[in-house]
Each structure stands twice: as structure tokens, then as C-alpha cells.
Amino acid sequence: MSAHKVAVVTGAGRPGSIGWATVQRLLAGGWKVVASDVGRPLESHPDYEVAAPEDLLRLGTENPDSVLAVACDVTSESEVVALFAAAVERFGHVDALVNCAGLGIGLTPVVDLTLDDWRVNLDVMATGAFLVAREAARVMSAQGHGGRIVTISSQAGKTGMPLLTAYSAAKFAVIGLTQSMAMELGPLGITVNAICPGTIETPLLHVKGGLYEKYAASAGISVEDYQKRILKFIPLRRLGSPEDIAESAAFLLSDAASFITGEALNVTGGQEMH
């Protein structure tokens, strides 16, 4: 096997996001990284603010030897296949996947949740996670030297939350996907884990119609007061940073985590404990 390790990271194109921080953390650890993001507005929800394509490209141009930037909509089977083909063509092999693509659409009472909003959550965060993890598993199985797959679920993948029906359902699906893949792929030396972040200070919470805005409005208070209020539910009394999640992902990709698989690791400051 060659000296450098190669990771594919999805949902990596937005500065301040968990995917972006994960790319930076892996680069600091000497990894080569294939950074990807959707690269264009979502067909079903063109007004939702996804990562700007130029930010993703910048990751590649600023790190020409160690980053390949590839636009890939994780809901497109052909684009996901092409993503891994590009990774193998550029760096020779793939050792790890960190699945970060996600969104915050349809944050609404369940009686108002539209079928389109339900579908986009399941499409991107459950079906998309499956397509990318399946392709990683195919490539890693063929290579024959094991591998690491990590998908970002959520504390809402462990416990349901108001206004988050579709999001939570998609994140629960990620944990079933993770456990089943872990059992099948363990004998091949491929570990499969999920991370369940708590409230992490990223653009997801702030995009138009994002989580803060919705929760604050439903409580009849300002976003600032809402942010203060949620700290009471976090034993460590702070919000998480994207770097907190990037560190956990780097750990699950490291040799130190070689006996951990099928895990759904809470990184929530104690807000979620099961």
C-alpha cells in the first residue's frame, strides 16, 4: 500500500461546516482528500442555500497536491460512482469516507410538513449516505486492505425532536445503515461508524429558514435568547464547533480506533447520552 492515506469527504464545500473542518483536520494529519459538495442549487429546492461552488473549487486550488475538489450530488448514483472513480484516478486508492452532506429543510410542525420536504431530507441524508457509503465499500472491498467509513448522523438520530420529523427520520436511518454495514464489512477490515453531533455552530443553523430561526419563532423569542436557552440543556454549557466533530472523525479514521465499528458516537457536550 502507498504511504499516503486518502479520504473522500462529502458536504465539504462550505467554510464553517463540519465537512470543511474535517478536510482541514485530515490535511493537517497528512491525508490526501477528495473534497466534494453538490456544486449547484438543489433541483427540488432551488432557494435553499447550499455551498457556493467557488468555495469548493478554492479548496482544490489552494491545496493542489493534496486536495481534489469534485462536484457531486450525493443523491445521484452516477455522480457518486464518478466521485470515487475520480478519487482513484487522482490518488490511486481510497482509505476512508466521511459522509457530511446534509441540509435543514422542512423544519416545521409535522402537520405542515410537505411530501417534497420529507423527500429531500430522506434523499440527501439517508439515500445519499447509502449511495456514497456503498460506493466506498465497493472500492475498499476491491482494494482488499480494509478501510474506514464514517457518516454524520445527529443527536436527532438517537432521540426525536419537535419540528425535525423528516430530518430525524433520515438520521435514524443513518444509524441502521451504519450498524448493518459494520456487520457485513467487519470481516473485510472495514469499520463503519456514525457520529451524532449535538448543536454545532455551523451555517446549517443559520441558512434562511434554518433551525435557530424556526425554534426561536416557535418559542416567541429572539435567536439570541434561544441560543442562550439551549445552553441549559447542554451539561458542558457550550455549543459544539465544527472542529469538535472533525476531531472525532479523525479519531475514527485513525489506528487508535481500529477496534471500533457499528458505533454511533455522541459528540453533544452531554446533551444526548444514549
Ligand X SMILES: NC(=O)c1ccc[n+]([C@@H]2O[C@H](COP(=O)([O-])OP(=O)(O)OC[C@H]3O[C@@H](n4cnc5c(N)ncnc54)[C@H](O)[C@@H]3O)[C@@H](O)[C@H]2O)c1
Residues at the contact surface with ligand X, assessed by CB under 6 A: 10-11, 13-14, 17-19, 37-38, 50-51, 73-75, 100-103, 124-125, 128, 152, 154, 197, 199-200, 202-205
Cα distance between residue 124 and residue 128, in whole Å: 5
- Between 143 and 179, CB nearer to ligand X: 179
Please report how close the Cβ of residue 65 comes to ligand X at its closest, in angstroms: 23
CA distances from 65 to 58, 90, 156 (A): 13, 10, 37
Please report how close the Cβ of residue 198 comes to ligand X at its closest, in angstroms: 7
Distance of alpha carbon 119 from the chain centroid: 18
Please report how close the Cβ of residue 3 comes to ligand X at its closest, in angstroms: 30
- Between 189 and 249, CB nearer to ligand X: 249
- Between 13 and 269, CB nearer to ligand X: 13
The residue length of the chain stands at 274
Annotated catalytic residue within 171, 212, 214, 215: 171
Please report how close the Cβ of residue 161 comes to ligand X at its closest, in angstroms: 10
Known active-site residue 167: yes
Annotated catalytic residue within 167, 212, 215, 226: 167
- Between 48 and 146, CB nearer to ligand X: 48
* Residue 96, SS3 per DSSP: strand
Q: What are the backbone dihedrals phi and psi of residue 147, each rounded to the nearest 5 degrees, phi first?
A: 165, 180
The beta strand positions in 153-253, using DSSP E, are 190-197
Cα distance between residue 79 and residue 60, in whole Å: 18
Cα distance between residue 10 and residue 19, in whole Å: 7
Active site residues: 167, 171
